[in-house]
Amino acid sequence: MMAEKEKEKEKKHALLLGRYEMGKLLGQGTFAKVYHARNVKTDEDVAIKIIDKEKILKGGLIAHIKREVSNLRRVRHPNIVQLFEVMATKAKIYFVMEYVKGGELFNKVAKGRLKEEVARKYFQQLVSAVGFCHVRGVFHRDLKPENLLLDENGDLKITDFGLSAVSDQIRQDGLFHTFCGTPAYVAPEVLARKGYDAAKVDVWSCGVILFVLMAGYLPFQDPNVMVMYRKIYRGQFRCPRWFSPELVKLLRRLLDTNPDTRITIPEIMENRWFRKGFKHLKFYVEDDHQVCSLDDVESDDPGSASDQSMSESDNEPMTPRAKVPGMPRPASMNAFDLISYSPGFNLSGLFEEGGERSRLVSHAPLSTIVARLEKMAKDVDFTVRKKDCTVTLEGPASGTKGPLTIAAEIFELTPTLVMVEVKKKGGDKGAYDQLLNHILKPAIESLKAGDPGEEGSLKREDSDEGSLRREDSEEGSFKREDSGSA
């Protein structure tokens, strides 16, 4: 018995941070190594990026690491590798990330060009994810096949946001000025070193990727890097004979050397070649951790193709606004729960980000409160989702911080008294305060016991809200170059 306990103790000590069983090395760079690992508590496969603190301190990359973490938390999407948690010891920083089993898209392209329908599928997923990032003010700036992974279902996942930037970094001239990217994928305006629009730079890289997927080689390539840069700067490339006229036309707009006339993400999503078989992906985020996909929706009408209203919230899939019967009885609160809500004892702020909360008390029954929340949501054009005794409301607009998302959780204080705890889960704080104070609070506080909640309509007020190298023939094999800054 003692021997078994000792073995269990040794096994626990062998686990990384007490719960991750480390596996094989997946890859490594100058400052970090990435390992496959398993969470022994959930049996979930993850990838753990282990960063040497001393090396990044010497390299002055602390701000770089913080930016990568911040940006990954900002862009939770089914086609972006997810960051689950970040931990640190005195010597190491650990990124616990989604494990993507299919490897790099680079490896698939290195075997030869892809069929048009396959290349189009990857390009559609890439553009959808990049557009999602741009709406949230995040720009990747190093898109290339090596930074695109494939999962077990063959779906694309963007990774490596190490060179990404946010709109907050834009200078007074409205442009970025950092010279970065991978040589063969870098846009001509970056080479000019006069400032650039990072969204247009990502579009250029998407164009180079599409060309590579369809041709099997790079549009701009030369053994002499300076000669290659001149080709990029002049936009000198030739499409192979198997490219359709529609594809050629799209590539000419993607690889337009003038960023002012270069095609935009919404315009790409309305393009005829792009839209063939395109499915607009709906999804939600469960418990700020896992991205969950809903059924794909065919996008045959022009309006839906450029729609950016992807859900980024916290509970169950979107449901119709009609009331779902049989919600469970709300959780009861004891004296200790109530004490913990007083300002002097509430420690939730130490563990939660953006925890704007408000608590309302009502004598109305659960069904009446839920009906009132649903009516309020309908009047301001919000989507409603329900799970247990939590009602999540999500707005239609999507700013840099995502759609305004509010969760209202209902607790039972006594058999005739309930508390509604309202929390902002996403979106702009100003918009949240306005909705809370001018619409939600009055709607709940006006309820009485037995009130069916059918008052007049509520009106919404406006709120603010290295790469690939071509060899010998046009369809030659590829070699990997060093990635990183151009």
Question: What DSSP designation does 192 have?
Answer: H
- Global pTM reads 0.62
Q: 422 near 440, Cβ under 8 Å?
A: yes
Taking residues 430-453, what's their average pLDDT?
A: 78
Euclidean distance between CA atoms 284 and 312, whole angstroms: 5
- pLDDT at residue 345 in the model: 39
Asked about 428 being catalytic, the answer comes back as no
- Can you say which residues are annotated as belonging to the binding site for ATP? 49
Structure confidence at residue 142 as a pLDDT band (50, 70, 90): confident
Q: Output 142 or 449, whichever has higher pLDDT.
A: 142
Question: What DSSP designation does 155 have?
Answer: -
- pLDDT at residue 124 in the model: 96
CATH of domain 15-98: 3.30.200.20
- Mean pLDDT across the chain, nearest whole number? 74
What would the pLDDT profile of 97-106 be if each residue is shown by its tens digit?
A: 999 988 889 8
pLDDT greater than 60 at residue 278: yes
Structure confidence at residue 305 as a pLDDT band (50, 70, 90): very low
What would the pLDDT profile of 337-394 be if each residue is shown by its tens digit?
A: 444 444 443 433 333 344 467 888 888 888 888 888 888 888 888 888 887 778 888 8
Taking residues 219-234, what's their average pLDDT?
A: 91
Taking residues 40-68, what's their average pLDDT?
A: 84
Taking residues 249-256, what's their average pLDDT?
A: 96
Percentage of the chain modeled with pLDDT above 90: 26
Taking residues 31-36, what's their average pLDDT?
A: 87
Structure confidence at residue 139 as a pLDDT band (50, 70, 90): confident
Q: Output 302 or 37, whichever has higher pLDDT.
A: 37
Taking residues 154-168, what's their average pLDDT?
A: 70
The strand pairing partners of 98, in sequence order, are 46
From 110-119, 136-145, 253-262, the region with the lowest mean pLDDT:
136-145
pLDDT greater than 50 at residue 447: yes
Q: 25 near 33, Cβ under 8 Å?
A: yes
φ/ψ of residue 77, rounded to 5? -150, 145
Taking residues 432-444, what's their average pLDDT?
A: 87
- pLDDT at residue 411 in the model: 81
- pLDDT at residue 283 in the model: 62
Q: Identify residue 335 by its one-letter amino acid code.
A: A
- pLDDT at residue 484 in the model: 46
Helices marked H in 283-365 — which ranges?
302-305, 335-340
Taking residues 292-299, what's their average pLDDT?
A: 47
Taking residues 139-167, what's their average pLDDT?
A: 80
The active-site residue out of 43, 45, 52, 142 is: 142
Q: Output 216 or 427, whichever has higher pLDDT.
A: 216
Q: Output 44 or 417, whichever has higher pLDDT.
A: 44
- pLDDT at residue 303 in the model: 37
- pLDDT at residue 46 in the model: 94
The strand pairing partners of 80, in sequence order, are 158
Structure confidence at residue 4 as a pLDDT band (50, 70, 90): low
- Can you say which residues are annotated as belonging to the binding site? 49
Pairing, β 20-28 against β 32-39: antiparallel
CATH of domain 335-342+355-446: 3.30.310.80
- pLDDT at residue 57 in the model: 82
Q: 386 near 316, Cβ under 8 Å?
A: yes
Q: Output 83 or 240, whichever has higher pLDDT.
A: 240
Structure confidence at residue 8 as a pLDDT band (50, 70, 90): low
What would the pLDDT profile of 171-203 be if each residue is shown by its tens digit?
A: 444 444 454 557 889 899 988 877 788 899 999
pLDDT greater than 70 at residue 114: yes
- pLDDT at residue 39 in the model: 92
- pLDDT at residue 428 in the model: 78
Residue closest to 247 by CA, chosen among 115, 97, 405? 115
Euclidean distance between CA atoms 402 and 385, whole angstroms: 17
Residue closest to 151 by CA, chosen among 97, 91, 201, 85? 97
- pLDDT at residue 30 in the model: 73
pLDDT greater than 90 at residue 216: yes
CATH 1.10.510.10 fits 103-171+181-270, yes or no: yes
Euclidean distance between CA atoms 463 and 174, whole angstroms: 24
What would the pLDDT profile of 383-401 be if each residue is shown by its tens digit?
A: 888 877 788 888 876 655 6
Q: Where are the domains of the chain?
A: 15-98, 103-171+181-270, 335-342+355-446
- pLDDT at residue 24 in the model: 92
CB atoms within 10 A of CB 298: 10
Q: 84 near 76, Cβ under 8 Å?
A: no
